[in-house]
Amino acid sequence: MALQKREKILVAATGVLLLAFLGMMFLSGGGDSLSGLRQQRDKKAEEVSDKNRVIDSAKNAVAQMKDWQRRSLPSDLKHARSLYQNWLRELVTRVDFDDVTVDTSDGQSKRGIYSTLTFTVHGQGTIDQLTQFLFAFYSADHLHKIRHLSIKPIQDSKQLTLGITIEALSLPDATRTDKLCTDSSKRLDLPTLEEYRSAIVQRELDDEQPRAPGGVFLAYTPAPAKEEHTEPPPPPPPPPPPPEFDPTTQTFINAIVQVDGRPEVWLFVRSSGETLKYHEGEEFEIGPVRGTIARIESRTVELEVGGQYCTVALADNLHDKLPQPPPEEEPGEKPADSDAADSDTADSDTADMDGETAAEPASADGSGAATAPTAHERAEPEANEVSEKPSGETTASEMEQPSDQAAEEEEEEALDQAAESMEQSTESAGQVSDEASSDLSTATSESSPEPSTAGDAADATPVDAAAE
């Protein structure tokens, strides 16, 4: 059955969607799988590299073991000991050591791994003979080494006392069982014996260091140290003495009590655990501080120390409340506020002079002598000054007074006292006027008949009373 056009389009669209879905799945999942494969590849490559290193190390170890087996003494220890001891005897005979002995002893042995054989050579010889022995020893390719070499010069001789300790190794898998290795070693830097003789035996020393009797070996003498004449450094200054302990720093007002009707203060010194008890007027001394208990209140104590007073409350520290001494001034230095203090002193002197001038009487009798003012005359100018002063005007003396509450209260109290003085003066003046009138009438009746004089006296009395 043939597909219609619509069905063909639907099949094509479905195929396109399926391909797109598969592509997305491949890209999303395939990318992760690709990176994972790369990681696995790198990991495997690293493992292969590690294994190759292990194989190379094993190959090197096998080659080293084969070389040791080739150089080793025979695996039979008896044959190895005898053969190597004979080889040493031939060597010391060839270099012609004197009084030489070659001994052997057992060494360490690890079953199945290796065994060591120890040999010692003692004798006497020159530095040239020792050089020949060492060159022949290291030229032989045996599995051996010198463990210890002792060289001691002989006095007045070129001979040396020699002691050589040698250690040889025997492996159980050695390639030979009845003979030593005959190969030559390539461990020496210089190929011939003559080159070592030239470097060791025939070396020239400095003229300042001639050859010792024992050959080229010299006793070491260190060079004398150069003496440097330098002045010794000055001694460090002594450390400052520690400050003296002040017990007032640990003294507190512990209690204020009444004892026989008298207040008593308790001072507790923590450093000594002592409680000091004082009444008013008693002197106290605590460490460097001496003073007097000036006054004891219910919760405070007033102290006098060095002419200065301080107040300490209950539980307060005595040292914190004590008056501190003024800072020491350098000679020739004037305090900053001295000019202001001098100015204030000058102003106060001027004000005193003005007060004294104002206090002088303004009236005098006919002879020029000043008369003492009465109480009324003294109070009246003060009242006039208070009443006649303009409300918005301020005098120089008022400008100098502080504008706080205490100054205002003092000014009001002075005004009240002036008013009371004026009232008392007025009453005294009335009493004086009444007494003068009665005296005048009595004198008129008893006096001689001189109307002019009596009239003058009568006329003058009211004027004087009014003046008073």
Query: What tens digit of pLDDT does each residue of 374-432 get?
Result: 444 444 444 444 344 444 444 434 444 444 566 667 667 777 776 676 666 556 555 54
Using CA atoms, how far residue 244 sits from 247, 248, 288, 328, 344, in Å, is: 10, 12, 10, 20, 42
Flag whether pLDDT at 247 surpasses 50.
yes
Q: What is the pLDDT of residue 426?
A: 58
Q: What is the pLDDT of residue 331?
A: 47
Extract the tokens encoding 132. 């020949």
Contacts of 193 (CB under 8 A, 6+ apart): 131, 132, 135
- Count the helices and strands in the chain (H runs, E runs): 10, 11
Q: What is the pLDDT of residue 230?
A: 77
Per-range mean pLDDT, top range of 33-42, 58-67, 355-364: 58-67
- Under 8 Å between Cβ of 256 and 266: yes
What distance separates the 2 farthest-apart alpha carbons in the chain? 192
Flag whether pLDDT at 221 surpasses 50.
yes
DSSP string spanning 276-317?
A: EEEETT-EEEETTEEEEEEEE-SSEEEEEETTEEEEEETT-B
- Under 8 Å between Cβ of 169 and 80: no
Extract the tokens encoding 179. 């003979």
Q: What is the pLDDT of residue 61?
A: 92
Q: What is the pLDDT of residue 3?
A: 66
Task: Quick: pLDDT tens for 301-353.
Answer: 999 998 899 999 988 898 888 887 665 554 444 544 444 445 454 454 444 44
Query: What is the mean pLDDT of the segment spanning 210-236?
Result: 65
- Under 8 Å between Cβ of 351 and 397: yes
Distance CA 457, CA 41 (A): 152
- Kindly report which listed range (18-27, 283-292, 383-392) carries the lowest average pLDDT score: 383-392
- Under 8 Å between Cβ of 302 and 281: no
Flag whether pLDDT at 445 surpasses 60.
no
Contacts of 363 (CB under 8 A, 6+ apart): 370, 371
3 state DSSP class of 360? coil
Flag whether pLDDT at 216 surpasses 60.
no
Which stretches within 336-404 are classed as H helix? 338-358, 375-388, 396-400
pTM of the complete model: 0.39
Categorize the per-residue pLDDT at 198 as very low, low, confident or very high, splitting at 50, 70 and 90.
Answer: confident
Q: What is the pLDDT of residue 108?
A: 81
- Under 8 Å between Cβ of 465 and 432: yes
Categorize the per-residue pLDDT at 437 as very low, low, confident or very high, splitting at 50, 70 and 90.
Answer: low
